[in-house]
Amino acid sequence: MLYECSDGVYIFGYDCLQDTSSISDHLQDTVEDAEDFCKEEYNIGSSNWILIADPLKDCQHDFIMPTKIKGKENNNPEWGHFQTLIDGFWHDIKTFDKTRSFDGMTVNERLLISGLIDEFYKSKISDNKKAKQILHFLGVDEPSIELIIK
């Protein structure tokens, strides 16, 4: 994941498929430098990027879904304990074993685990190309993608 801010562009690295905190970060000066780094280090080209919304205020920059450290807003952070925003309310989220394969999961389970569910449903309404790209990267086959997008 890339995140552009006033410091430069952070590259967050992960060792699993679910939406979770990163295990590493690197800082580059520009988006182009970050994309070059990702191409060289991870073999991820610019056509593989999915643009997502910036995080909400006080939320983690390395999560896709709006996620914050529990208690941080009251100056009493519970490090390692996260909350995510669902239907306008903050809910505690549990840390699960790392997901390294989507095998046996439904499309909705893949969208939920990856944190791309909101981004997918927004793009399904306004940007079918992006919606298809999300499904493709989640390992959904082409015939299923066409049925889902219709």
Sheet holding 24-28, edge to edge: 2-5, 8-13, 24-28
pTM: 0.80
- Please give the structure tokens belonging to residue 8: 């430069």
The answer to whether 78 and 70 have CB atoms below 8 angstroms apart is yes
As a whole number of angstroms, the distance between CA 116 and CA 122 comes to 10
In this prediction, residue 47 carries a pLDDT of 79
**Residue 88 zone, left/alpha/beta (φ > 0; ψ -120 to 50; rest):** left
Q: Which amino acid is residue 18, in one-letter code? A: Q
Give mean pLDDT in consecutive 10-residue pieces for the chain, a chain of 150 residues: 93 92 94 94 86 88 93 91 91 83 94 93 94 95 95
